[in-house]
Amino acid sequence: MQKKRVLIVEDDPSVELLLREGLTDSDCGCEVASVNSGEAALVQLETARWDLIITDNRMPGMSGLELLQAVRARVPGMLAILITAHGSDEVAQEAKRLAVYRYLTKPFPLADLLRVIRDAFALERGGESEPGRDNGRGASVALKVTLGGDGGVGKSTLIRRLCTGSFNAERRMTIGVDFHLYDVAHSDTQTRLVVWDVSGQDHFAFTRRAFYRGSKAIGLVYAVNDRATFERMKQWQREIREILPTTPIILAGNKTDLEIQVASDEGYALAREWNVPFFETSCATGDGVHDFFAALAQVAERNRRNK
């Protein structure tokens, strides 16, 4: 069977890299290419066969909707997915008029996009999936939160412990950025956290800055068994504040089950200096993990309502 060919149209280099490499490394069995403008996409459509186009909406020059209008004139039946960080009823209606298969609002987990792609190709083969709008969010409110901190402090493991209840001591480096979903019920609100786990390695610093924007809360994590990760917390805070000067921060000292190099009093003192909440957590035992993420959900929801 001939591989399906997917064209990504995205002007943000970081998002383009994430989508292209994420789809290429997935099991969707697609050939993937990308361009950074609607005009470049039209050139690709004239010179090669494509089965699916995935386009951002707000781009310099031709917008995603304008691109899809041109696509419909050239390839009327092509599958199309529209993604945007600025959704509205008007955009949704125009996407429907242009027979867009899915209209996804950022942020969304890469896994949701993969599911939509599989459904789209299944429908094309005569399956039962039906097109429509899907924002990747089953909960009533979806909030983007971001975890920062040095590599190896356990950010990915914290999320895994939260979402699965299990602990795996094997360390896997986060490549640039990753997405996770978790539904949190607090007060009278059901919140879906879209947790972005940014890589702590220095060579990803430029990439991760692009992903801070839009976060409703930030969790900064250090490892209590590694003093260097604690000493770099102020550097992380400065990096965050350059992009998000008022977004609430929550501080966490992770790996409390291991030999302590950073005392609790030091964590509380830094939190008082920043005037932020502080938690101690252990992925191995689960201590403090749910409290930490529940606090992130609460301050993110408060931040959303105050905007």
Q: Which of the given ranges, 22-26, 186-190, 226-230, 280-284, has the highest pLDDT on average?
A: 226-230
3-class SS at 190? strand
pLDDT at site 131: 39
Q: Is the pLDDT of residue 171 over 50?
A: no
Closest by Cα among 143, 25, 134 to 81:
134
User: CB-based burial of residue 5 (10 Å sphere; 0-12 exposed, 13-18 middle, 19+ buried)?
Assistant: middle
65-105 pLDDT per residue, tens: 999 999 988 888 889 999 987 777 888 888 888 989 888 87
Give how far the C-alpha of residue 296 lies from the chain's centroid of Cα atoms, to the nearest Å: 16
Per residue in 114-144, pLDDT (tens digit) is 888 888 887 655 433 333 444 443 334 667 8
Domain ranges in the chain? 4-124, 141-306
pTM of the predicted model as reported, rounded to 2 decimal places: 0.55
Peptide bond into 107 cis (omega under 30): yes
For tokens 């309502």, what's the residue? 305
Could you say which architecture CATH assigns to the domain 141-306? 3-Layer(aba) Sandwich (3.40)
For 255, which DSSP code? -
Least Cα distance to 289 among 262, 252, 258 occurs for 252
Q: What is the mean pLDDT of the chain?
A: 81
Is the separation of the CB atoms in 160 and 166 below 8 Å? yes
| CATH fold match for the domains 4-124 and 141-306 | yes
Q: CA dihedral defined by 175, 262, 264, 267, rounded to 10 degrees?
A: -60
CATH superfamily membership of 4-124: Response regulator (3.40.50.2300)
Per-residue confidence (pLDDT) for residue 21, from 0 to 100: 79
Separation between Cα atoms, residue 281 and residue 254, nearest integer Å: 5
